[in-house]
Amino acid sequence: MKTMTLQPDLTVSAVALGCMRLAAVELSKAEELIDTALEAGITYFDHADIYGDGESERRFGQVLARRPSLRERMLVQTKCGIRPGRYDFSKEHIIASAEGSLKRLGVDRLDALLLHRPDTLMEPEEVAEAFDNLHSRGLVRYFGVSNHSAGQMRLLGAALSQPLLFNQLQFGPAHTGLVDVGLHVNMTDEGSVMHDDGLLEYCRLHRVTIQPWSPFQRGFIAGPFFGSGQYPALEETLSRLAAEKGATPTALTVAWILRHPARMQPVVGTMNPDRLRQAAAGAEVPLSREEWYEIYRAAGNTIP
């Protein structure tokens, strides 16, 4: 598994395991999945306090309680800020959420804490106080955001003592908005509409690692594009290229994301060990520039 060094003491696997669905998995199956991830070279595990209403973190913690030595082989990330019917970046909530996640996960430190979705009532100085509190107490090593625009990151970053190392964003062959606008500059078609204030370029300039979530999904969590009947050309192209390379369409999808020169770390949320192995294998599949654009066009995207 390829790795990326983000800080002198922070090296992450090129692919992360998203643990949103872990609450629905029996303990023995959860343990098998974590073992599969580690064996495949995936050492980064992504959580959120709201996944399974906290049960996904708790299930992960149950595995660690049975096998504490696993903690030394992994990096654990979680997210906070979503509450029923609202978002909450108050100092009190961020600190309480992080402490709650630590307890459920059964760890004494989070490798990263991300703010889950933008809170329009955010006070950057208050967030900074929360981050400083958690960092100075040794509870959180690094910080980031999820689903934030470039402007929101600039606003928050101006008050922080710590850099924002991550932004978790939806991206994949069937959800390409992150790159569309950069290919349609000076056009008047739909692809030219900028929704995110040049987010891809901002992250590249500031060396923010983009963590694509739901890389196999279409729309906003509308289901996998594989087998949906809505992307026949994309499925055919991925299958053909996969066969040529001795890989699988799942691996090719991951390879397509990793081929982009922006620093990306796809978050794969499958609970199927075999599919997880396929996704991990994508980190080793080379793609040419021509093949990348062929997959992009097959998804229904146009090149001006």
Nearest to 250 by CA among 266, 264, 261: 266
The number of angstroms, rounded, from the C-alpha of 27 to the middle of its chain's C-alpha atoms is 24
Buried-exposed string 198-218: b where 16+ CB fall within 10 A, e elsewhere: ebbebbeeeebbbbbbbbbbb
> Of these residues, 51, 142, 202, 231, which one is catalytic?
51
- To the query of whether residue 87 is one of the catalytic residues in this protein, the response is no
- What would you measure as the largest C-alpha separation in the chain, in angstroms? 57
Cα separation, 157 vs 176, whole angstroms: 26
**CB 122: neighbour CB atoms within 10 A?**
19
Active site residues: 51
